[in-house]
């Protein structure tokens, strides 16, 4: 082994600009692909009798200083476990490198001392650093006092100092601090100092390797982003302070990312009291807590193209929402699904050019209409939902009327009463025999208590997608009246309206028109002869008639 000189203190050329420039997660260019063989080799090295022998074995495959550090890092992260018992009883604990190696476990101090010792044996300058960390047990917004509570390392490579934390690289401890799980984390190897400061504050501020350096107060007030935040390619979260106060019962959060990331959130453990919209480069979330006080808000993310099996939603950022007053009007129906409104996800499913890009539709007269261009050959299914029993499932379908004009679909909605409603949109490929898949939903709000629209007429299977009802749109007809019918239908030979008597409609271009009298009947049916030579006809629409 060569003798290493004493570590030199950090100077101007070691410093990185703060805040993070969003360039790289690491403080020097690292090609992980090139480490594949070295990593695999280091994992297999199984020497426990002495630190010297271990380093010798690891260096067999390592040429450059970077490779030497990588081999040592990989070995420690996969062979030393965090000592949860020792943590609670530090007097019995040795963090001497030889003891850590024999025991195969330690706390952060032991990881850092073993790392430093192995590097010095390999001829690489390395320093153990002490400081405060936002690690296990950290509470959003807390202050740090007294002695340091964590240890990590700086290594000198290619003329500059770099930071790493092998304790956090090796895995994690459960909430009760009784069980350690190996879970390798690449993020803490040569982490960019402007990101490392997010959760590591060294006692000696020169070891932040930043210009400007942060004060302890700034460190305490800064947002804690988990390593998942950066590993998933997320760039920023707003607000940048961990505690948010509601304004008129509402708090807003947004996350910026590179593209195509899926998000979810939990406010006090559920996703009910929020409106989250997915944007191409991130997400926006408004939450409306329904109780005053402090609420934990967690934001989760995962890549949209899940390649690996472990691509589950991972927590990326946490806030505390301080709610001073409640906006009762923003109680959302239980059926509301996150995200709300159209997004790149609904576009990918074939719903292009939405007429309404916002998640909420406000209607004063209880009616609204949305249009989309369908990019694929899909069938669409829609339903309207609200809390309480005012809308049974079949009626929920009948308060939305679909009309197709070539590749465009229009959804007309008539609300049965005032309140908050969810319009759910499902689709399937026309060629698929299977079920419809849920795609997205809107929140529809109406405050006008006068509103009371009846359902649209009931449509039967012979009513084709591109037929259109021009009148009457209401599924409830007045009693003892002459009612005008005007329907757009093609490919039929004859159309009849059956009330007490039967009334034929006449064809005028592509419309069938005529009148029918509703006296003496409870129901009115529209029927078609598909072929002039056939004697039977099919029901296509059914209307109810008001009782006197």
Residue 3 placed within a domain = no
- Mean pLDDT value across residues 252-269: 93
Q: What pLDDT shows up at residue 273?
A: 94
Q: What pLDDT shows up at residue 2?
A: 64
Residue 311, pLDDT above cutoff 80: no
CATH label of the domain that carries residue 62 = 3.10.620
51 with 196, same domain: the answer is: yes
Domain holding 536, by residue range, is 458-545
**Residue ranges of E strands in 268-377:** 274-279, 282-287, 293-303, 314-323, 351-352, 360-362, 367-374
Q: What pLDDT shows up at residue 307?
A: 61
pLDDT digits (tens, 9 = 90+) for 511-524: 999 999 999 999 99
Which class for 471: exposed (0-12), middle (13-18), buried (19 or more C-beta within 10 A)?
exposed
82 with 195, same domain: the answer is: yes
419 with 516, same domain: the answer is: no
Q: What pLDDT shows up at residue 5?
A: 74
* 3-state SS track over 418-470: CEEEEEEEEEEECCCCCCCEEEEEEEEEECCCCCCCCCCCEECCCCCCCCEEE
357 with 307, same domain: the answer is: no
Residue 8 placed within a domain = no
Confidence of residue 3 (pLDDT cuts 50, 70, 90): low
Question: Is residue 211 within a helix (H) or strand (E), and if so which, with residue range?
Answer: strand 210-211
48 with 164, same domain: the answer is: yes
Judge contact between 36 and 42, C-beta under 8 A.
Answer: no
pLDDT digits (tens, 9 = 90+) for 209-250: 999 999 999 999 998 999 999 999 999 999 999 999 999 999
Residue 465 placed within a domain = yes
421 with 478, same domain: the answer is: no
End position of a domain, from candidates 396, 421, 446: 446
168 with 314, same domain: the answer is: no
Domain count, the chain: 4
pLDDT digits (tens, 9 = 90+) for 18-32: 999 998 999 999 999
139 with 58, same domain: the answer is: yes
Residue 214 placed within a domain = yes
149 flagged as catalytic: no
Q: Active-site residue among 39, 165, 271, 286? A: 165
- Mean pLDDT value across residues 288-308: 89
CATH label of the domain that carries residue 530 = 2.60.40.10
319 with 354, same domain: the answer is: no
141 with 193, same domain: the answer is: yes
Residue 310, pLDDT above cutoff 80: no
Residue 40 placed within a domain = yes
Confidence of residue 533 (pLDDT cuts 50, 70, 90): confident
Q: What pLDDT shows up at residue 1?
A: 64
Residue 459, pLDDT above cutoff 90: yes
pLDDT digits (tens, 9 = 90+) for 392-432: 878 899 999 999 999 999 999 999 999 999 999 999 998 88
Count of Cβ atoms closer than 10 Å to residue 186 Cβ: 16
Q: What pLDDT shows up at residue 434?
A: 86
Residue 333 placed within a domain = no
Residue 137, pLDDT above cutoff 90: no
Q: Active-site residue among 14, 77, 78, 108? A: 108
114 with 179, same domain: the answer is: yes
Q: Active-site residue among 16, 117, 132, 150? A: 150
End position of a domain, from candidates 409, 424, 446: 446
How much is the mean pLDDT over the chain?
Answer: 94
Residue 548, pLDDT above cutoff 80: no
- Mean pLDDT value across residues 38-57: 96
pLDDT digits (tens, 9 = 90+) for 142-182: 999 999 999 999 999 999 999 999 999 999 999 888 999 99
Instruction: Report the percentage of the chain scoring pLDDT > 90.
Output: 86
Residue corresponding to tokens 């990312």: 257
Residue 12 placed within a domain = no
Residue 13 placed within a domain = no
pLDDT digits (tens, 9 = 90+) for 351-397: 999 999 999 999 999 999 999 999 978 999 999 999 987 788 788 99
End position of a domain, from candidates 158, 191, 218: 218
Question: Is residue 190 within a helix (H) or strand (E), and if so which, with residue range?
Answer: strand 189-191
Q: What pLDDT shows up at residue 308?
A: 60
- Mean pLDDT value across residues 243-263: 94
Distance CA 157, CA 66 (A): 7
399 flagged as catalytic: no
377 flagged as catalytic: no
Confidence of residue 41 (pLDDT cuts 50, 70, 90): very high
Q: Which residue has the higher pLDDT, 189 or 305?
A: 189
Confidence of residue 467 (pLDDT cuts 50, 70, 90): very high
245 with 298, same domain: the answer is: yes
pLDDT digits (tens, 9 = 90+) for 108-124: 999 999 999 999 999 99
SS3 content of the chain, % helix, strand, coil (to 5): 20, 35, 45
């Amino acid at each position: 082994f060569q003798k290493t000189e004493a570590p030199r203190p950090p100077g101007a050329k070691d410093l990185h600009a703060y805040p993070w420039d969003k360039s790289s997660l690491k403080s020097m260019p690292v090609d992980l692909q090139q480490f594949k063989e070295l990593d695999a080799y280091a994992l297999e090295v199984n020497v426990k009798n002495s630190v010297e022998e271990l380093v010798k074995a690891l260096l067999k495959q390592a040429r450059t200083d970077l490779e030497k550090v990588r081999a040592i890092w990989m070995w420690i992260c996969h062979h030393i476990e965090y000592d949860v018992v020792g943590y609670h009883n530090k007097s019995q604990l040795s963090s001497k490198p030889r003891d850590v190696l024999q025991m195969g476990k330690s706390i952060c101090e032991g990881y850092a001392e073993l790392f430093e010792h192995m590097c010095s044996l390999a001829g690489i300058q390395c320093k153990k650093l002490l400081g405060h960390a936002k690690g296990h047990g950290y509470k959003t917004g807390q202050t740090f006092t007294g002695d340091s509570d964590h240890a990590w390392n700086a290594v000198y490579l290619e003329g500059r100092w770099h930071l790493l934390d092998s304790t956090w690289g090796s895995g994690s401890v459960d909430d009760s601090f009784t069980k350690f799980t190996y879970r390798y984390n690449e993020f803490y190897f040569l982490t960019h100092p402007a990101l490392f400061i997010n959760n590591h504050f060294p006692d000696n501020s020169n070891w932040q390797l930043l210009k400007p350096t942060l004060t302890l107060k700034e460190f305490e007030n800064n947002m804690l982003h988990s390593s998942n935040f950066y590993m998933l390619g997320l760039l920023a979260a707003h607000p940048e302070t961990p505690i948010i106060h509601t304004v008129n019962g509402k708090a807003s959060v947004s996350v910026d990312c590179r593209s195509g990331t899926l998000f979810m959130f939990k406010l006090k453990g559920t996703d009910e009291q929020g409106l989250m919209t997915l944007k191409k480069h991130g997400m926006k979330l408004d939450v409306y807590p329904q109780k005053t006080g402090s609420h934990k808000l967690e934001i989760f993310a995962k890549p949209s193209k899940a390649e690996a099996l472990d691509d589950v939603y991972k927590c990326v950022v946490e806030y505390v929402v301080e709610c001073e007053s409640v906006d009762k009007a923003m109680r959302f129906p239980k059926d509301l699904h996150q995200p709300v409104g159209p997004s790149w996800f609904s576009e990918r499913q074939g719903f292009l050019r939405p007429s309404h890009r916002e998640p909420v539709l406000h209607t004063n007269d209880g009616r609204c209409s949305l249009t989309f261009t369908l990019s694929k050959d899909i069938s669409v299914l829609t339903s309207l939902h609200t809390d309480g029993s005012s809308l049974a499932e079949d009626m929920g379908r009948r308060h939305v009327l679909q009309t197709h004009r070539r590749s465009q679909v229009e959804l007309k909605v008539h609300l049965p009463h005032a309140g908050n409603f969810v319009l759910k949109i499902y689709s399937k490929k026309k060629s698929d025999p299977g079920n419809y898949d849920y795609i997205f939903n809107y929140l529809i709000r109406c405050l006008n208590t006068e509103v009371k629209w009846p359902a649209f007429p009931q449509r039967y299977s012979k009513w084709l997608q591109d037929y259109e009802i021009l009148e009457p749109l209401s599924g409830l007809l007045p009693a003892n009246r002459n009612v005008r019918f005007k329907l757009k239908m093609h490919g039929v030979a004859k159309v009849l309206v059956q009330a007490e008597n039967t009334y034929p409609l006449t064809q005028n271009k592509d419309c069938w028109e005529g009148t029918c009298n509703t006296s003496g009947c409870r129901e009115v049916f529209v029927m078609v002869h598909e072929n002039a030579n056939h004697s039977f006809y099919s029901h296509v629409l059914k209307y109810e008639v008001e009782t006197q």
